[in-house]
C-alpha cells in the first residue's frame, strides 16, 4: 500500500527511466510487456494479454456503469539517442523518442492507484498498454483480438513539446491528421553524362516530379483544407559521370479525412504518369495507406475539456492550430467506439522538453505524469 499518490508518481518516474534505458521497437516489445505484467502481478491487478505484447489491465468489471478504457502506447523508434540523460538508451539505434515510455509509466501510475482504491470505482475500467503504435497498426490488432470488447468509451493522450506545460488541446472533430506514403520508381536508360541525348534520364524526371507534386496542395486542394504532401527522399545512386537507369522518389501525405486522402493519392498517380510521359521514362507508383485521421467524438471531447480545466486550471487551453498534422493509430479506436484524444503540453522551458517528438535529443517530461494520471482517472469517473 502506498501512503499517498506522490509515492506512486515517484514509482512511475523510476519505471519510466527503466523503460527509457531499455526501449524496444514496434512488435518487438517482449521485455517491455514482461515488465508491465510483472508490476501488475506484484500489485494483484487482473489483466489479459492481446496481440502478443499488448496488455489490458481490468478494474471493477462487475460494476454496471459506463465501461471506460484508457490507452498508453509502449513501443520505441529506430533512432540513435543523443541526449546525455543518466537513463539514456542502452540499445543502439533504438530510442523512446516519442514519449511512449512516459505514456506507459503514466498509465501504470493510474493502474496502481485504481487498484489500491478499486472499491471507489463506480464503473468498469480497462487500461490498454498497446504495442506497435509507430506504424505497426497495433490498435487495429488489439481491436481484432477483442481487447475493447464491451468498452463503451475510450480516452487517450500524447505529450506534445510544441504546447506549453500546463496547457493542452482536445477539440471536437479532427485532432490529428491521417497519413499515407508514396513510393515511386522511375526507370530510364543510363549512360555517360557527356551524352545525355542517348539516355532517358530518370534523375531529371525525378526532379521534375518532385516539383510537380507540390502543386497538389497549392492548386488542387482548397486553402481551408489541412493537407501536406512532402517528398522526403530522392534516391538515384550513381557515379559523378554516369546517368543511372533508376531513380526513386518517396514521401508522405497528411490529410484531415478519407475523402481528401483518396483525392491526393489520385493526383499523385496522375502527375506521376504525366511526368513519365513527358520525360520518356517508365514509372511504377506504389501508394500505401497508413492511419486515418484521429477524429474526436463530441460528448467524449467535451468531457476531456472539462477535466483538463479541473486539473490544469483556467488557462489550460492552448491556441495551437488543429488538426496537428502528425498521425496516430488511436484513430482505429475512435472509428470503432466513442472517445477522444488529447495533446498535452510538455514545454516547461527546459531545452530537452522543447525538442520535437522523433528527435534524437527528445526526452519525455516527467512532470506530466502526475497531472495526466489524475486527468485519466477523472475521465474514468474516479473521484481523485
pLDDT in tens, 310-362: 999 999 999 999 999 999 999 999 999 999 999 999 999 999 999 999 999 99
The partner residues of 200 in beta bridges, in order of sequence, read 189
Q: What is the mean pLDDT of the chain?
A: 97
Question: What pLDDT score does 62 carry?
Answer: 95
Average pLDDT over residues 110-132: 97
Q: Which domains does the chain have, with CATH numbers?
A: 5-175+293-379 (3.40.630.10), 178-289 (3.30.70.360)
Q: Do 70 and 107 form a contact (C-beta atoms < 8 A)? A: yes
Cβ–Cβ under 8 Å, residues 69 and 153: yes
Asked whether the beta carbons of 369 and 105 are under 8 A apart, the reply is yes
Q: Can you tell me whether residue 32 is helix, strand or coil?
A: helix
pLDDT recorded at residue 1: 83
What is the structure's pLDDT at 287?
98
DSSP string, 196-237: GGGSB-HHHHHHHHHHHHTHIIIIIS-TTS--EEEEEEEE--
What's residue 384's pLDDT?
Answer: 83
Residue 99, sorted as left (phi over 0), alpha (psi -120 to 50) or beta, turns out to be left
What is the length of the chain? 384
98 known ligand binder: yes
Q: To the nearest whole percent, how much of the chain has pLDDT over 70?
A: 100
Give the helix/strand (H/E) hosting 187. strand 178-187
How large is the average pLDDT for residues 188-193? Answer: 97
| Residue 103 annotated as binding site | no
358 known ligand binder: yes
Backbone φ and ψ for 212, nearest 5 degrees, come out as -65, -35
Cβ-based neighbours of 4, under 8 Å, separated by 6 or more: none
Mean pLDDT of 53-78: 97
Residue 119 has pLDDT above 90, yes or no: yes
Question: What's the pTM value of the predicted model, to 2 decimals?
Answer: 0.92
pLDDT in tens, 123-159: 999 999 999 999 999 999 999 999 999 999 999 999 9
Amino acid at each position: 500500500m502506498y501512503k499517498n499518490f506522490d509515492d506512486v508518481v515517484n514509482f512511475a518516474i523510476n519505471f519510466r527511466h527503466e523503460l527509457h534505458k531499455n526501449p524496444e521497437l514496434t512488435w518487438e516489445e517482449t521485455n517491455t510487456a514482461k515488465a508491465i505484467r510483472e508490476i501488475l502481478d506484484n500489485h494483484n491487478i487482473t489483466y489479459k494479454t492481446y496481440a502478443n505484447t499488448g496488455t489490458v489491465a481490468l478494474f471493477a468489471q462487475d460494476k454496471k456503469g459506463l465501461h471506460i478504457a484508457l490507452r498508453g502506447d509502449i513501443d520505441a523508434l529506430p533512432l540513435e539517442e543523443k541526449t546525455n540523460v543518466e537513463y539514456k538508451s542502452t540499445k543502439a539505434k533504438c530510442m523512446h523518442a516519442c514519449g511512449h515510455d512516459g505514456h506507459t509509466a503514466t498509465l501504470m501510475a493510474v493502474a496502481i492507484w485504481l487498484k489500491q482504491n478499486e472499491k471507489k470505482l463506480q464503473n468498469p475500467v480497462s487500461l490498454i498498454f498497446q504495442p506497435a503504435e509507430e506504424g505497426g497498426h497495433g490498435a487495429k490488432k488489439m481491436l481484432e483480438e477483442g481487447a475493447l470488447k464491451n468498452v463503451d468509451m475510450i480516452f487517450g493522450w500524447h505529450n506534445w513539446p510544441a504546447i506549453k506545460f500546463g496547457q493542452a488541446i482536445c477539440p471536437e472533430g479532427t485532432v490529428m491528421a491521417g497519413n499515407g506514403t508514396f513510393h515511386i520508381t522511375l526507370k530510364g536508360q543510363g549512360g555517360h553524362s557527356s551524352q545525355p541525348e542517348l539516355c532517358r534520364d530518370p534523375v531529371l524526371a525525378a526532379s521534375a516530379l518532385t516539383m510537380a507534386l507540390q502543386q497538389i496542395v497549392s492548386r488542387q486542394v482548397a486553402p481551408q483544407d489541412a493537407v501536406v504532401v512532402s517528398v522526403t527522399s530522392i534516391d538515384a545512386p550513381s557515379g559523378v559521370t554516369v546517368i543511372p537507369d533508376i531513380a526513386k522518389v518517396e514521401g508522405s501525405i497528411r490529410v484531415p479525412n478519407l475523402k481528401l486522402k483518396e483525392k491526393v493519392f489520385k493526383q499523385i498517380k496522375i502527375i506521376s504518369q504525366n511526368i513519365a510521359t513527358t520525360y520518356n521514362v517508365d514509372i511504377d507508383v506504389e501508394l500505401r495507406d497508413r492511419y486515418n485521421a484521429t477524429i474526436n467524438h463530441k460528448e467524449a471531447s467535451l468531457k476531456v475539456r472539462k477535466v483538463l480545466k479541473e486539473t490544469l486550471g483556467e488557462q489550460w487551453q492552448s491556441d495551437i492550430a488543429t488538426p496537428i498534422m502528425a498521425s496516430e493509430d488511436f484513430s482505429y479506436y475512435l472509428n470503432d467506439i466513442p472517445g477522444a484524444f488529447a495533446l498535452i503540453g510538455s514545454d516547461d522551458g527546459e531545452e530537452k522538453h522543447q525538442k520535437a517528438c522523433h528527435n534524437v535529443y527528445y526526452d519525455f517530461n516527467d512532470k506530466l505524469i502526475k497531472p495526466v494520471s489524475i486527468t485519466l482517472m477523472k475521465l474514468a469517473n474516479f473521484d481523485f
